Chain A
């Protein structure tokens, strides 16, 4: 199964949806997040499509829970060989906020997923803050 290199670039200039905060990207609730997904594939990748997903996950001592709070399919069908640059726009959810507690942590991730049929999906995660 051929792999691709995935890079995720968030648009800091166009809106207030994303800004740098202590080395991490902080998202602003309720804003429209825009960015660009760059995929470099040596050969065509058989896939159902490429998704950008905003998801939260709990960690800590308790049983973990995760939830895809927002997602958008930015490419339908196989990923072509070579470089693909695909822009996206996604609503930033209002809750839950990023939380780093003692027993409980809530973390947000912006995920790019190549949805492969009958194979393990290729994902690229970027931890973001929802504050």
Chain B
């Protein structure tokens, strides 16, 4: 089971993130990059930056590309946060969420949805391909034109027959809260924030395992085969 991507929230228990990374690996890579690969990375950043500008300019020539580039730009300038009452959330459970809009920006439309996406990676020749399929989607909240900052509450229910989050190398099944913003100045941004879904029995076993003293030698039945994330699961703190 993958490690939850979220961090402690300010209004609800957990603030969702777009990507997950191990803190140890992140630190190791940062140190390595800083000490050994610094000059190379700086050069690559310049090249990638230049390519991004060129790519962005080319994309702007096409309507769909222009929408994406403008959406990315406006989205970066006007970030939003999503906080939820639980992460991981259990199959069949309902969670409360809050979309926090930090800066007022004029929107034509805003939608919050819950999505479950299958993602597979495979090699064909020397190329690596990734394909995605949306196995489940449910719209949680929608808004028309608006221009105010603030908070939008929503609720999400994980279906009883849903599949949990799964990460098996080239095969993944991820749950997301997607925030789609259509900006009045042009552009659409789709922001996917990772949400982890666990089976209830597994979550209970992990909680029990973490509560045990460190020198306990045997994990609960059935847990031996499951890779347990090193960081604690969500712990409600303040907020609602």
- Using CB atoms and an 8 Å cutoff, list the residues of chain A in contact with chain B: 29-32, 58, 60-65, 67, 69-70, 91-97, 99, 101-104, 106
Contact = CB atoms under 8 A, between A and B. Distances in A.
Nearest to A96: B166
B120 A60 contact: yes
B105 interface: no
Determine which residue in A30, A31, A94, A95 has the highest number of CB atoms from chain B within 10 A of its CB, and name it.
Answer: A94
A70 B224 contact: yes
Contacts of B201: 29-30, 94
Contact of A99 (B133, B173, B222, B225): B173
Determine which residue in B121, B168, B199 has the highest number of CB atoms from chain A within 10 A of its CB, and name it.
Answer: B168
B36 interface: no
Contacts of A99: 163, 166, 173
Given A93-B225, A93-B226, A106 B122 contact: no
Contacts of A92: 221-222
A65 B173 CA distance: 14
A104 B221 contact: no
A104 B118 contact: yes
Interface of B: 1, 118-123, 131-133, 135, 163-164, 166, 168-173, 198-199, 201-202, 205, 220-226
B118 A91 contact: no
Given A30-B205, A101-B133, A101-B135, A106 B166 contact: yes
Nearest to B198: A95
Nearest to A66: B168
Given A63-B123, A94-B199, A103-B118, A58 B225 contact: no
A99 to B, nearest CB: 5
Nearest to A60: B120
A67 B121 contact: no
B222 A93 contact: yes
Contact of A106 (B132, B168, B199, B226): B168
Nearest to B172: A104
Nearest to B223: A94
Closest 10 CB pairs of A and B: A62-B120, A69-B225, A63-B170, A94-B222, A94-B202, A62-B170, A62-B171, A93-B225, A65-B168, A58-B171
Contacts of A61: 120, 122, 131
A101 B118 contact: yes
A63 B98 CA distance: 37
A69 B225 CA distance: 5
A30 B203 CA distance: 12
A93 B172 CA distance: 19
A104 B123 contact: no
A114 B35 CA distance: 51
7 contacts: A30-B221, A30-B222, A69-B225, A92-B222, A93-B226, A94-B199, A97-B164
Contacts of A101: 118, 133, 135, 163, 173
A32 B199 CA distance: 18
A95 B122 contact: no
Contact of A29 (B120, B132, B222): B222
Contacts of B199: 29, 94-95, 97
A81 B11 CA distance: 69
A17 B133 CA distance: 33
